[in-house]
Amino acid sequence: MKFNGKVLRNKEIAENIWKLDINAGKQFKSLPGQFINVLINDTYEPLLRRPFSIFEASDKKVSIVYKVLGAGTKALAEKKSGDSLDFIGPLGRSYLEFLKRAKNASIIVIGGGTGAASVHYLAKHLRAAGKKFVFIQGARSACNMVAVPEFKKLGCSFSTDDGSLGEKGFVSDLLQKKITGGAVIFACGPKPMFRAIKQACANVKNVKIYASFEEYMGCGIGACLSCVIETTDGTYKRVCKDGTVFDLNDVVI
């Protein structure tokens, strides 16, 4: 669905990392793991919409957390409260589709870098549903860590490459201490993190890993076939429509 939203608040919450709260103007129903595709402005720079995972959403409000990287996010960071914002969403499949299959398994939620946004939404959902879960968040350094207070509220443990927040090391090191057989892992972050998680679970029985991927999107609605990921059956699947969440066993990383 298309929304003509308004910016409620747009603020830098960590080094180069911003949180944007949007009033969608009408009821916005979404699930953890889904994303919105935002039209940054009405000129042709940038030309394409930019996709962002939903950090949290309720009623008419939807929030995203983004890192200022290129022209699109730079322009987005200039948005002020009251500015209008056209976006499409919610898009993509939710983690919850896979959670249904997990039933009584122990749940581990892992975020890395700005991939933290979508797992935050998931963790909030799990907490509200009264489910127990282990929550791990990693970044290079404390200053790159997204929304620390919000994550702390959800019982999150942290790891940083330089040890400036939480344990020194990677999320996979922390995971190794907490993983048990039969666990279900939900993760969002860069591909090397997924590889490390897979390796950390290699000798643990019956672990399922569901990961939300990020690839360069053109349309966000499954038409342009830009954001594809190779699957183990040799075909390409669309991250925007067939994902963004995939069973790690089904994709080539």
Residue whose pair of structure tokens reads 């003509």 in the numeric block? 4
Taking alpha carbons only, the member of 145, 208, 137 closest to residue 175 is: 137
Count Cα neighbours of 61 within 13 Å in the Cβ-side half-sphere.
Answer: 9
Task: Give min distance, CB of 51 to other proteins, in A.
Answer: 12
26 belongs to the binding site for other proteins (CB under 8 A):
no
- Under the binding rule (CB under 8 A), the answer on residue 45 touching other proteins is yes
Query: How many residues lie near other proteins (CB under 8 A)?
Result: 28
For the CB of residue 219, give the shortest distance to other proteins in the complex, in Å.
4
* 104 makes contact with other proteins (CB under 8 A): no
Q: Is there a contact between 187 and 194 (Cβ–Cβ < 8 Å)?
A: yes
Smaller CB distance to other proteins: residue 64 or 217? 217
**Residue number with CB closer to other proteins (42 or 104):** 42
| Of positions 225, 232, 249, 250, contacts other proteins by CB under 8 A | 225
48 touches other proteins by CB under 8 A: yes
Which residue pairs from 153-156 have beta carbons closer than 8 angstroms and sit at least 24 positions apart in sequence? Answer: 154/120, 154/123, 154/124, 154/127, 156/123
> Minimum distance from CB of 44 to other proteins (Å)?
5
> CA 25 to CA 39: how far, in whole Å?
16
Q: What is the C-alpha to C-alpha distance for residues 146 and 6, in angstroms, rounded to an integer? A: 23
State which residue, 51 or 111, has the beta carbon closest to other proteins: 51
Contact map string, positions 174 to 213, toward other proteins, x by CB under 8 A: ----------------------------------------
| Start-end of H helices in 63-140 | 71-77, 96-102, 116-128
Which residues are CB-neighbours of 188 under 8 A, at least 6 positions away? 33, 53, 110, 111, 112, 115, 116, 117, 118, 119, 211, 212
226 counts as binding other proteins under rule CB under 8 A: yes
Determine, following the binding rule CB under 8 A, whether residue 235 of this chain makes contact with other proteins. yes
**Contact residues for other proteins, defined by CB under 8 A:** 1-2, 39, 44-49, 88, 215-216, 218-219, 221-230, 234-236, 241
